[in-house]
Amino acid sequence: MKHGKAIVVKNQAELAEMGIELGPNSPLRAKPQRRKRNLEHQAQVRLFEKIADASADPRGAERWLYGFMDIVHAVPQFTDRRQDWRSKQKGKDYKAEGQKSGIPDVHVPVMRYFGAQHDHVVASLYVELKCEAYPSETQRTVMQRLALEGNAALVIKNPDPEQLAEEAYVTIIRYLSGQWNFREYAHPKFSYIPGLSFP
């Protein structure tokens, strides 16, 4: 029995040109490419680039705030999704170190007074960045608890990482400036401020 010459193709398009159709479950069918970078990761990196720039340049528009920018920080957090076959042990280590799921991404550990009489105290600000998804039940529960302890816990949602970073940055600047409109970009359904409800 003679075998024909093997046909070598580089991609699915070449098969189509030869009149060969692939079934829906064929391993040769091109798979949709995953995003190379997590959008929320991009937004958070860009946010801290802006914070670093403000900290390093006391001549900027926010020069009086640069001292506070030095203590704005990301919150390491443990999530079960990290526990794949490659990082299961790391996930256990994170949990043993005290990292917890549901804690918002960014913390501004500065107390601020708001209101005409400066009688509304907010202990600190937490910010959760979201591009596409909404906060999980665990995240909402944690943020409610943070608000009960006197902290503002805001969710800022925007599908564009650059815009999300800008909105988070403006939120932090306004909070540190003692401006009530620091709530402007916060998602009204998933954000919590002690003693205040969103319209």
List, as one string, the DSSP characters of 145-157: HHHHTT-EEEEEE
- Give the H or E element holding residue 96: helix 88-96
Q: Report the residue count for the chain.
A: 199
Position 26, amino acid: S
Reduced to 3 DSSP states, what percent helix, strand and coil does the chain have, rounded to the nearest 5? 40, 15, 50
Entry pTM: 0.74
For residue 49, give both structure tokens. 């680039």
pLDDT by residue, tens only, the chain of 199 residues: 555 555 555 556 666 666 666 666 565 555 544 454 589 999 999 999 998 887 776 666 566 666 788 899 998 876 555 444 446 667 677 678 777 788 999 999 999 988 777 778 999 999 999 998 899 999 999 999 999 999 999 999 999 999 999 999 999 999 998 888 898 999 999 999 887 655 4
Yes or no: domain 39-75+103-183 corresponds to CATH 3.40.1350.10: yes
Residues 6 or more apart whose Cβ sits within 8 Å of residue 118: none
How far apart (Å, rounded) are the C-alpha atoms in residues 24 and 183? Answer: 48
